[in-house]
Structure formats: C-alpha cells, structure tokens
Amino acid sequence: MRKLQLLLLAVLLLAFVAACSRDDAPPEVAPPADPTPEATVPADPDPVDDEEDIDPDAIDISEFVELHMLLLGDRPGDLDLVLEEINTHLRANINAEIDISLISLADHTTMYSLRLASGEVIDIIYTSSWAHYPQEAVRGAFRELTRETISRYMPLTYAQQPWRSFEQARIQGRIYMVPANSAPLQGHVTLVREDIRIAHDLPEVVDFETFELYLETIARDEPGVFAHHSSQNNDILRGLIFNTGNNIISLPGAANFAAMRFTYGMTPSSADIYWMPDMPEYREFALLMNDWADRGFWSRSAPADSTMPRDAFENLTSGTFVHNSGTVGVLGNLLGARDIDTLAVDIFPDAYRFFGVYTGDGMAIPMSSVNWQRAMMALDQLKFDYDTFAAFRWGVEGTHWTAVGDRYFRIDNPEAQARYVFGGISWGIRNSIFERTNIEAFRSSTEIFATWTDNRAVYSPVDAFVFDATSVQTEMANLTNATARHQAILDLGLVSDVDAAIAAFRADAEGAGLEVIMEELRRQLDEYFAQ
Amino acid sequence: MIARSFKTAVRCRTLFLMLLPAFVLVIVFSYIPMAGIAMAFQQFRYGHGFFGSPWVGLANFRFFFSSGMAWRVTRNTFLYNIAFLILNTTVQITVAIMISEIGSKWFKRVTQTCLLLPHFISWVVVSSMAYGLFNFENGLINNTLAVFGGNPIDVYGNPRAWIFILPLVNLWKAVGFGSIIYMAAIAGLDAELKDSAEVDGANIFQRIWHITLPGIIPTILILTLLAIGQIFRGNFQLFFQMVGDNGLLLPTTDIIDTYVFRSLRFTPELGMPAAAGLYQSAMSFVTIMLTNYLVRCVDKDYALF
C-alpha cells in the first residue's frame, strides 16, 4: 500500500512539475498583458498610484528595493567595489540598490532578445539605436515613458535634459528610452604605424593619396603585416572611403542598404535616397577595393577571419585601425606604452562630420520590471546625481581615477584603472554636463576631433529618422539575406567582376522585394521631412 | 480494468521510476513547447502575450518561400544530410568492426581514444583549426605547398571544395562517438557463434559478413531511421562555424538553418523563425513516416513503430 502511495506521489509530482513549467516556460504569459503601462503596475507595493497626484514629494520610498540592471560589456574586475560605492549613494537617496549583469559585446546580437524574452526580472537595460532599441520597442519589450512619468520619477533628468532627445526616441509615436543628454560628433579617425612609415621613408599620411601609398608599401615590403586587417566584412573601410570620402549618409534603421549624398544647405527629399549599390560612388568604391584586394592589402581569406581589427592592430599584424577618436586614442596610448609609435590621422580632412543621435546610447525599463518607478528614480540618480554618476562612469575616486579640475581626470594607478576601464559599461548614462576626459589622452586623436568641431560639424538632415520596417518584414528578411550574400565580398573586393557582381546583387535584391522596401522608406521619409 | 493497471504499475514500480526522469524531460522540453507552434501564425508582441497577439495566417511563411532560395537551401540540407548519413554510418561500422576484431587491448584503447577526442572539441575551435589549415596567406596547406614550389590554393574562395570538406570534417568529429554504439552492439553478439564459425574454417571476412553484420542490422536500421528523422534539420554549428557569412561559399553551403539565421537575426519578428522551424519539422515528419512505412513493408520487426 505504501508503495502505491509512493507511486501516486510520483505521478502527482510529475503532474505538478509539468504544470509549473507550463506557467514558467513561455515568456509570453508572464508580463502584463495590457500595453498601457500605467494600468498594469503588477502588485505594486507603492500605495501612491499614478493618477492620484503628481507631487514628487509624495513618492513613497519607505520600502527598500533591489533593482536588476542588464548592460552590454565585459565584467570589470572591480565591479563589486564600484557597485558598493554606487549603492551607498542610491541607498541614501532613494532607498534602493542595483546589481548589474552583463552581456558580452560579442554575444549581444543573439543574447539580448533572449534575455528579454526569458521573463527574468530586469529593471533597467542598456539600449540604443544600434543595440536593439527600435526592434525591441516595436515588440513591446519596454515600458512606455511619458512626459508625466519622466517628470515625476526623473525630475533631475527632466529639468536638465533637452526634451528633443526624448522626441528622437519616439517609436510609432511612443517613447521607451531615456537617451543620452547630448548628441556626440561622429566620425572615424585612422590610426597608422609611424614606425613603419618612417622606416620606409614615406611622406606623412595626410590625405587619401598618402594613405594609399602607406598601405601599398606595407603590402609590398612588410611581411607578416596586412595593410588593413579586415575581418569577415569590410564595413569599416566602406564607412571611411565610401561614406566619409563622398559625404554620403547611411539612413538610420536602413544603414546597410540605403544612403543619400549630403551637400551643405541641401533641402532633402525622399528622391535623394538610393539603394547603396546603385550609387556610382559605390561602384567606384567596389572597384577600388577589388584593386586593393588584388594588391594584397588584406587576406584573401578575410571572410573567414575572426580576429577583430583592433586585436590585429594591437598585436602588430595590421597597419591601420579605423574607429572613433576615443577608441583610437585608447589604442594609441596602449601601443605608446609599448614604445610603438602610432599617429591618428584624418585622410579626408575636407569631409563633413555629422552629429550623432541622442539615442546612440540610452537605458530602457523592460516590461518585466516590477519596481519600475524606483528603476526610473535610480536612472535619474545615475545620470544626474554627480557622485552616483562619477562612481558608475569612472569607478571609485582615488582608486580608479583622480579628478583634475572640472573637465579632466588623471589615472594614477593604471593597474587599478584597468579593473574598471573608463566608461567600459556605463555609456547608457552618458551625460555631457559631468563628462571628463583623460588629461593624458592621445594627443593626435583629440586634435583631429577638435578640428571637426571647429570646422565641419553639421547636423544630418535625417538624424532623427528611424526606418520602421514593421510593414515590410518579409521583404526585409529576404533583403538582409541577399545583402549577406553579396555585400561583404563586394566590399572586400573578392569578386572577379565588380559590375557583374553588382548586377547579380541587384537581381537578388529585386527578387527580395527591394522596390517595396524603398517605396515604404521613401513614404516614411516624406512624412519625416514634412514635419 | 483499473485495478489491473494499478497492479501492473505496482509490480513494475522500479521500471516506472526509472522512466520518470526521461518522461518529465520529454514532457517539459518536447511537448509543452509544441504549443509554441502557434507563434508561427502570429505577429507576436510581448505586451499582448501568447494568447493576445494578432493572428496573421501564413504571412510568416511567406519570407521563406518568396525568397527564391527555398529550393536551394532545402536541397543543400537534404543532400548534405544524406552524404553525412551514408559516410558516417559506413565508416562508423567499419571502424567498430575493426576495433572489435583487434586483439591487443592497449592498441584498442589508444585508437578508440584518439578517434573519440574530436567529439569533445567545440565547433568554434574546429573552425579556427580549419582557418589555420586553409587560410590563403599563412595556412598550413599553402605554406606546405610553397615549400614544394606549388601554387597556393584559395579554399575560402572555392565553393566546390566545401562539398568535400564539410562531410570530411563532420566525419572526423563523429566517427569515434558513433562507432561506440556499434561496438556495443557487436559486443552483445553471441561469441560462441563466431567461435564455432572459426572452428568450421570461416575466415575473418566470412565471419564479419555472415555473423557480425547481420547481427547489428537492427542497430543500423534504428540509428538510420533516427537520422532520417532529422534529415531536414541541418547541423547549424558545423555550417555556421565553418562557413560563417562568407558569401563566396554560400551557393554550396547554405542550409535551411543558416539561411533562416542569416535572414532573421536582425528581425524583431519571432513568428518568422517559428514558421521556418515548423516547415522543417513538417518535412521531417513526412520523411520519417514514409521511411518507417517502407521499412515496415520489408520487415515489421525492423520498423521503429
């Protein structure tokens, strides 16, 4: 009899387990079903509720809460130490603490959506125009933020950050992100090896011609070093030579296929938009890349090479590194410490540089957040309470950094600093009001940046535009695939006949529904320009 | 009736308990997620959830069939899997027989270990090893060719080469692990049969042909049937790690799984990958039913069900 009971118990247990997993397994049943955020505060311990009153003093923070933050980046060695510092401030100011988990930058394309869909409680998550914001927002992953909730729970931010920045974050009319408070200037700087240049008695790299000569010399005379290390694709040189070199803007949200020429003072219209490979500039670029590939500027096996360009430059197997001025500066300093002479150069000194978007960095509150009000308050503190901001951004003062005046910092202990690299995981709260730069920053790279700000910094006419591909998903999926098949090898110059390859690309893109996509894109742009 | 069932249950309680973990696993990981098929027909939105998301009919399937690539990738998936199946099964059986016929225990163990090792290397590492072999400028093959004055070969630019490379790499990784099952089957055969055959003057090939092989036919059939059930599911790791996004190789190496991944890794729609998965499942289901039916026609005992 007892054995029978045991068996029954086992069966019951089984049924129970099955039933439980039915509850937990599909993420879709977990979070609130109603899209309006105010109406769905699940089991909110906070008695002061939404419409009741808008007096910020009335926010009840008597109950201590722990908030979970998900960011992109690698775990810094001193994260616990820094968190202790941040939490000291947060406990005092809003009776809350945060913990941080991370998705490596190498994994975020696949992991980000999974973590959001898994149903785990996340209160604050990094997001941006390049890190899944439009896609996840459309899918309903984030809580909508309104002027009321922002002004109530994020008073510091609301008072000091231009509302224009929030406007830029609108997706289908709604805001789901707290973007950065400033739009940084975009533009690529090229880092070259001065030791190689001087050894071969080459002229200084100041423009495209001297750059090409430098690359050619490395390809010919420096065994073991590639002129430019290309990994899997050639997006970097396309951005530099095709885009910057011709003042061509790639369209936000459609950057890998649609582009427009920029001229100063232009009145933009949707007729200026082209499918990138259709532009004569692109053909010219592809021909040049074919020539460079034939001359051995990079590996013929580049599509299969998974070494990152930055690593290749750092281990001295690449002659150039192209990136934003900050990253170039970090790498230049790093090699300088190893007595390798590098120089940041601008090979297109006459090209326009564009201000980026506010939404290039930001934070969102996922739907799975239970304490979303406190999450917003924590975000407010992290962004605009100087002490909390400084701890999160640079680490513990005195350990990781030392303040120099109001705008700079100094690194006294590089080993400690390496355990909490400046800005390594904290771009989501970037705040230009408090921002500091390293006083020992790589000179040539900051100088180039300064010449842009002084001379050629312009606003892109499409900076706040985001292509919403919801209505052309099928065509976009097919075009993405056609692009994956053709773009990288064209950019890398590995096709035998450029014109034939572009024609084949066009045929595949047309088959994918390119016309439908371009029509939708132009329609949205007409609306955007009309505003 | 119920009383009798109970009695049986009580009598076989140990067996039932042993079955329990597998049963739970199948329910949790195979049956419950099946409800997710519904997603293939929805435009899924977190806010509306699984039950509230709008139904969109067959729209999610459109991308795959309107791409003009459906035939190519389905053909590639099917042909590669057939090649893997034939090559792996033949070599695994041969290796299993050879190893079990070897007398020296020491030699047997060393060989088996060496063959098994690749199974434990991850595909990411295998892909870097392949890059070390094949890359144009510094690869082992081209460096060796250069020593002997040969012209370098561009493996990563030659789609035909991969028709052979992929099955060989897959075989290298699978042969050790796969042959274990056949070795177990061979070990289960009646040793007396072989001994008496030997006494009767049968040589080693006759013993293999008339005793070992017929003895393991049920195992071969079951494993083959199981593999056929997966015939429209490509080995994503193998193809994606070895080939990646190399557009030059895709005409011969794009399979359903990599194709779908490449198309949809940036799309916010969860329904579209769900639809592609359902397509593969449906194709596999039809194939397995058909094959099982054919096997039943030949010999009922060999069929899976």
> Shortest CB distance from A4 goes to which of B10, B68, B247?
B10
Q: Looking at the predicted structure, is the pLDDT value of residue A40 above 50?
A: no
Can you say how many angstroms the Cα of residue A380 is from the centroid of all Cα atoms in its chain? 21
- Residue linked to tokens 């098949």: A485
A476, B267: Cβ pair inside 8 Å?
Answer: yes
For residue B21, what are the contacts with CB-CB under 8 A and spacing of at least 6? none
For residue B294, what are the contacts with CB-CB under 8 A and spacing of at least 6? none
* DSSP string across A212-270: HHHHHHHHHH-TT-BSS---S--HHHIIIIIIIHHTEEEPTT-TTTEEEE--TT----G
pLDDT at position A237 is 94
Side-chain-side CA neighbours of B59 within 13 Å: the count stands at 17
Q: Looking at the predicted structure, is the pLDDT value of residue B129 above 50?
A: yes
A481, B67: Cβ pair inside 8 Å?
Answer: yes
Mean of the pLDDT values across residues A472-479? 90
Q: Percent of chain A having pLDDT more than 90?
A: 55
pLDDT at position A26 is 34
pLDDT at position A55 is 53
**What does the alpha-carbon distance between residue A4 and residue A341 come to, in Å, rounded to a whole number?**
80
B48, A33: Cβ pair inside 8 Å?
Answer: yes
**What does the alpha-carbon distance between residue B247 and residue B259 come to, in Å, rounded to a whole number?**
12
For residue A253, what are the contacts with CB-CB under 8 A and spacing of at least 6? A129, A134, A465, A466, A467, A468, A469
Q: Hey, what are B43's tokens?
A: 């435009």
Q: Looking at the predicted structure, is the pLDDT value of residue A412 above 90?
A: no
CB–CB of A513/A474 below 8 Å? yes
Q: Hey, what are B196's tokens?
A: 């008496």
> Shortest CB distance from A3 goes to which of B13, B48, B63?
B13
For residue B68, what are the contacts with CB-CB under 8 A and spacing of at least 6? A508, A511
For residue B6, what are the contacts with CB-CB under 8 A and spacing of at least 6? A4
Asked if the C-beta of A300 comes within 8 angstroms of chain B's C-beta atoms, the answer is yes
pLDDT at position A144 is 94
pLDDT at position B134 is 94
Q: What is the pLDDT of residues A251-280, one digit of tens each?
A: 877 878 999 999 888 888 888 999 999 999
**What does the alpha-carbon distance between residue A440 and residue A444 come to, in Å, rounded to a whole number?**
11
pLDDT at position B215 is 92
**What does the alpha-carbon distance between residue A449 and residue A323 come to, in Å, rounded to a whole number?**
12
Instruction: Let me know the angle formed at the C-alpha of A461 by A458 and A462, rounded to the nearest 5 degrees.
Output: 120
- Can you say whether the dihedral through the CA atoms of A140, A145, A149, A153 is positive or negative? positive
pLDDT at position A57 is 58
Can you say how many angstroms the Cα of residue B101 is from the centroid of all Cα atoms in its chain? 27
Q: Give the closest residue to A121 by CA, choosing from A159, A70, A195, A157.
A: A70
CB–CB of A468/A253 below 8 Å? yes
Asked if the C-beta of A484 comes within 8 angstroms of chain B's C-beta atoms, the answer is yes
Q: Looking at the predicted structure, is the pLDDT value of residue A52 above 50?
A: no
Phi, psi of A36 (to 5 degrees): -80, 120
A301, B268: Cβ pair inside 8 Å?
Answer: no
Q: How confident is the model at residue A32 (pLDDT cuts 50, 70, 90)?
A: very low
pLDDT at position A444 is 82
Least confident of A165-174, A483-492, A514-523, B13-22: A165-174
B244, A304: Cβ pair inside 8 Å?
Answer: yes
Asked if the C-beta of A42 comes within 8 angstroms of chain B's C-beta atoms, the answer is no
Q: Looking at the predicted structure, is the pLDDT value of residue A30 above 60?
A: no
pLDDT at position A16 is 39
Q: Hey, what are A148's tokens?
A: 């009321």
Asked if the C-beta of A117 comes within 8 angstroms of chain B's C-beta atoms, the answer is yes
Q: What is the pLDDT of residues B245-261, one digit of tens each?
A: 899 999 899 999 999 88
For chain A, the average pLDDT equals 85
User: Highest mean pLDDT: which of A412-426, B155-169, B279-293?
Assistant: B155-169
Amino acid at A107: D
**What does the alpha-carbon distance between residue A525 and residue A271 come to, in Å, rounded to a whole number?**
9
* DSSP string across A78-126: THHHHHHHHHHHHHHHHSEEEEEEEE-TTTHHHHHHHHHHTT---SEEE
Mean of the pLDDT values across residues B213-225? 91
Q: Give the closest residue to B265 by CA, choosing from B281, B246, B245.
A: B245
Q: Hey, what are B131's tokens?
A: 């890059």
CB–CB of A216/A202 below 8 Å? no
**Residue boundaries of the structural domains of chain A:** 38-181+359-394, 189-355+464-530
Q: Residue B200's CB: how many other CB atoms inside 10 A?
A: 9
Q: What is the pLDDT of residues B29-43, one digit of tens each?
A: 989 988 888 888 988
Can you say how many angstroms the Cα of residue A470 is from the centroid of all Cα atoms in its chain? 21
Phi, psi of A260 (to 5 degrees): -140, 150
> Shortest CB distance from A474 goes to which of B16, B63, B243?
B63
pLDDT at position A423 is 64
3-state secondary structure of A306: coil
A35, B48: Cβ pair inside 8 Å?
Answer: yes
Q: Looking at the predicted structure, is the pLDDT value of residue A45 above 50?
A: no
Chain B nearest-CA distance from A292, in A, is 15
CB–CB of B100/B186 below 8 Å? yes
Chain A hits for B250, Cβ within 8 Å: 485
**What does the alpha-carbon distance between residue A251 and residue A253 come to, in Å, rounded to a whole number?**
6
pLDDT at position A381 is 95
Instruction: Let me know the angle formed at the C-alpha of A384 by A381 and A387, rounded to the nearest 5 degrees.
Output: 75
Mutate one of A13, A23, A230, A300 to test the B interface: name it (highest B CB count within 10 A): A300
pLDDT at position A419 is 87
Q: Residue B291's CB: how many other CB atoms inside 10 A?
A: 17
Q: Give the closest residue to A493 by CA, choosing from A303, A306, A288, A322.
A: A288
What DSSP state is assigned to residue B212?
A: I
A31, B264: Cβ pair inside 8 Å?
Answer: no
**What does the alpha-carbon distance between residue A315 and residue A299 come to, in Å, rounded to a whole number?**
16
Q: What is the pLDDT of residues A177-211, one digit of tens each?
A: 999 998 888 888 999 999 999 999 999 999 999 99
Q: Looking at the predicted structure, is the pLDDT value of residue A410 above 90?
A: no
Domain A38-181+359-394 CATH (choose: 3.40.1500.10, 3.40.190.10, 3.50.50.60, 3.40.50.920): 3.40.190.10
Dihedral of CA atoms B74, B79, B81, B84 in degrees, nearest 10, equals -160
Q: How confident is the model at residue B67 (pLDDT cuts 50, 70, 90)?
A: confident
- Residue linked to tokens 């150069």: A345
Burial of A295 (0-12, 13-18, 19+ CB in 10 A): middle
Give the nearest chain A residue to B240 (CA atoms).
A304
CB–CB of A320/A312 below 8 Å? no
pLDDT at position B140 is 94
B248, A21: Cβ pair inside 8 Å?
Answer: no
Q: What is the pLDDT of residues A105-160, one digit of tens each?
A: 888 888 898 898 888 999 999 999 888 898 889 888 999 999 999 999 999 999 99
Q: Hey, what are B79's tokens?
A: 């042909």
For residue A467, what are the contacts with CB-CB under 8 A and spacing of at least 6? A251, A252, A253, A254, A258, A521, A524
> What is the enclosing helix (H) or strand (E) of A51?
none
For residue B105, what are the contacts with CB-CB under 8 A and spacing of at least 6? none
C-alpha distances (whole Å) from B76 to each of A108, A468, B83, B251 are 29, 34, 10, 9
Q: Residue A201's CB: how many other CB atoms inside 10 A?
A: 7
CB–CB of B32/A24 below 8 Å? no
**What does the alpha-carbon distance between residue A368 and residue B183 come to, in Å, rounded to a whole number?**
51
Q: Please, what are the domains in chain B?
A: 67-302 (1.10.3720.10)
Q: What is the pLDDT of residues A432-466, one digit of tens each?
A: 899 888 887 777 888 888 888 777 888 888 887 88
Dihedral of CA atoms B51, B56, B60, B65 in degrees, nearest 10, equals 150
Decide yes or no: CATH 1.10.3210.10 for domain A189-355+464-530: no
- Intrachain domains A38-181+359-394 and A189-355+464-530 with the same fold: yes
β strands within B84-231, DSSP E: none
